[in-house]
Structure 1
Amino acid sequence: MIGEKPRSTRLRVLVPFAIVTLIWGTTWIVIRDQLSIVPPSWSVAYRFLLGGATMLVWAAIRREPLWLPRKGMLFAALLGLMQFVLNFNLVYRSEQYITSGVVAIVFALLLVPNAILSRIFLGQRMGRQLLAGSAVAIAGVALLFIHEARLSPVGPEQAITGIALALCAVMCASTANVMQASETSKAWPMASVIGWAMLSGAMIDAAFAWGVSGPPVFEMRIGYIAGLIYLGVLGSALSFSLYFALIREIGPAKAAYSSVAIPVVAMIFSTLFEGYRWSLLAAAGAVLVLGGLVIALRARRPNR
């Protein structure tokens, strides 16, 4: 309707959008702390074992059916493979080569494959205003990337390896995003789908971890355990529930704008807890990112 506000500017969208951005903006620091004694694949497996169990408990509380039909279980397993196995194993490994800030910035590019895949498989067009916001935001991301690249202590080979792993993770995450926006996904309760996706992903993660890193390793350090709970419950169960709901509400392209704002949030928290120092380049990038975000979220979804 003419004059009606876009869905993406309503509180039922803005509030979960802000929560997801805030939580995922802090997970990069927590993930970095997880990369010490425990091999990355085991940390990923523990995270989604906890996240999946949390989701199924939530589904039971909501009295939603816990067991999905065969087609639903296969869908959940494929979603788990793309989102909770390939995506996160690649993310954790990329942080072994480059800083968490650079990984977060690479993930800001998620809106590009999300928009392309949404157009191909869902028939969703971006529209001029959304394209304009994307262009402004990507310009900001480029400035943030240049800033982080200048500060990076690693050599070019390590940087290229880390960025390549992060880009592969972005493509896996984008595939999962479009799966969640499909009509097939809407046939079953979201909490149950996410729960089984995380649990099936955790089982694959565990098998992979055992194959490449040997038997389970766990660090009995308070910081590691607290970080695991934070990543499993808030960073996974809560955040993915809200994020996938946003995908269904406003589409994968707009929902991916949380990944554009996340680097800015990550840099703010790094300033508070890691002594991160802002430069004029980084500040300009942050302003462009936030400006592009505002432009994009105010765009109406065009007709298919």
Structure 2
Amino acid sequence: MNIVLYAVIVLFWGTTWIGIKLQLGSVDPAVSVAYRFLLAALCMFVWTGVRRLPMRFPLRSHLRLALVGLLMYSVNYVLFYYCSEHLISGLVSIIFCLSVGFNIVNGRIFLKRPISRTVVLAAAAGLVGLAMVFGKDIADTKASSGLLTGVLLGLGATLLFSFGNIASSWNQTSGGLPVVQSTAWSMLYGGIFTTIGCLFAGNSFTVEPSFRYVAGLAYLSVCGSAIAFVTYLTLLSRIGPDRAAFATVAFPVISMSLSTIFEDYQWSALAVCGVLVVLAANAVILAGPQLRRLLGRLMPDAAGATGAAATAERPAVPESRGGRG
């Protein structure tokens, strides 16, 4: 089930960067973010109504949900949309991958989760692989005058996303809030916060009457937000924020595969090797215990000591509450 959830996340989030590019144009990026999450929240509330899921929570829970909405569905995405105006999509994806490291550190600080040496090494290997894949794009972007602005916006957005991950994990493990309902409320709060910010900034609430904009908005709202975030938060409750965030290391490969088709991206031998490194790191993160058992059956003498050491360092994973959604 973890692998299925992970695959859905990688597929949808790997294609959202193209959707974000489709949103950049005559409409202010912050307004597009407000549209996206208000529409996603509407989809979520319709779904919860069809399933007759309970939607009433005490005020204290709503404050927690509003915090997640501010961090995960509002300010961070506004920063990412503005970041996409300065950087190529591949580089934005790389910056977002730093959420793996942020989640490991923040999980240790706020949730007291032990840091696994295996997770840290695999995350580092994944980032190295991505650097191999996108090295040419990074070099090409160095000449851009907006590089520093884009990088700072991307780093700020990624840090806020990580804080949102920690707050959501806290809501599910300590607050007992179900995934689907809490996601619906958080997206609604995120859309409201963004709308209020746009009103204060004097942004015009217009809609670009083009298939490109409307199709991109619909895809981002339904697939990239409503479905993808419920899936991601369910995975987060099952395996923890550090391992769940490793999906952000895999989906840029999907993004660049689409760039090969639609943007004429040229692959190099180094980029191919980078993809293999990313896939290997993902295998270790997702199925480390299973791989060790398989290695133990194939080469018991070589894997015995390694498996024992790896098991000892494996962090405790809180009991899943994703099923309650």
Q: Select which of 104, 108, 122 maps to 1:115.
A: 104
C-alpha deviation, 1:262, in angstroms? 1.1
Partner of 2:46: 57
Q: Select which of 154, 166, 180 maps to 1:166.
A: 154
Q: Distance in 2 between matches of 1:184 and 1:24?
A: 22
SS of alignment partner, residue 67 of structure 1? coil
Q: Distance in 2 between matches of 1:94 and 1:239?
A: 21
SS of alignment partner, residue 298 of structure 1? helix
Highest RCO, 1 vs 2 (Cα 8 Å, sep ≥ 6): 1
User: Does structure 1 conserve the Cα–Cα contact (< 8 Å) formed by 2:172 and 2:179?
Assistant: no
Q: Select which of 11, 18, 23 maps to 1:29.
A: 18
Q: Structure 1: where are the runs of 5+ without partners?
A: 1-11
State the identity %: 36
User: Does structure 2 conserve the Cα–Cα contact (< 8 Å) formed by 1:130 and 1:299?
Assistant: no
Q: Distance in 2 between matches of 1:303 and 1:28?
A: 33
Greater mean deviation of Cα atoms: 130-139 or 157-166: 130-139
C-alpha deviation, 1:138, in angstroms? 2.0
Partner of 2:283: 294
C-alpha deviation, 1:147, in angstroms? 2.3
C-alpha deviation, 1:28, in angstroms? 0.3
Partner of 1:4: none
Relative to structure 1, the CA distance from residue 227 to residue 183 in structure 2 (aligned partners, 3 Å threshold; closer, same or farther) is: closer
Partner of 2:169: 181
User: Does structure 2 conserve the Cα–Cα contact (< 8 Å) formed by 1:56 and 1:191?
Assistant: no
Q: Distance in 1 between matches of 2:56 and 2:137?
A: 45
Partner of 1:124: 113
Greater mean deviation of Cα atoms: 93-102 or 128-137: 128-137
Name the amino acid aligned to 1:172. L
SS of alignment partner, residue 188 of structure 2? helix
Partner of 1:277: 266
C-alpha deviation, 1:235, in angstroms? 0.4
Name the amino acid aligned to 1:166. G
User: Does structure 2 conserve the Cα–Cα contact (< 8 Å) formed by 1:141 and 1:289?
Assistant: yes
Structure 1 residues 227-238: aligned runs within 5 Å = 227-238=216-227
Q: Distance in 1 between matches of 2:137 and 2:183?
A: 34
Greater mean deviation of Cα atoms: 231-240 or 180-189: 180-189
C-alpha deviation, 1:144, in angstroms? 3.3
Name the amino acid aligned to 2:169. A
Q: Distance in 2 between matches of 1:48 and 1:148?
A: 30
Q: Distance in 2 between matches of 1:219 and 1:108?
A: 31
C-alpha deviation, 1:217, in angstroms? 1.1
Q: Select which of 254, 257, 263 maps to 1:265.
A: 254
Count matched residues. Answer: 292
Looking at CA atoms only, which structure, 1 or 2, has the larger radius of gyration? 2
TM-score w.r.t. structure 1 length? 0.91
Runs (4+) of structure 1 moved beyond 3 Å?
183-186
User: Does structure 2 conserve the Cα–Cα contact (< 8 Å) formed by 1:114 and 1:253?
Assistant: yes
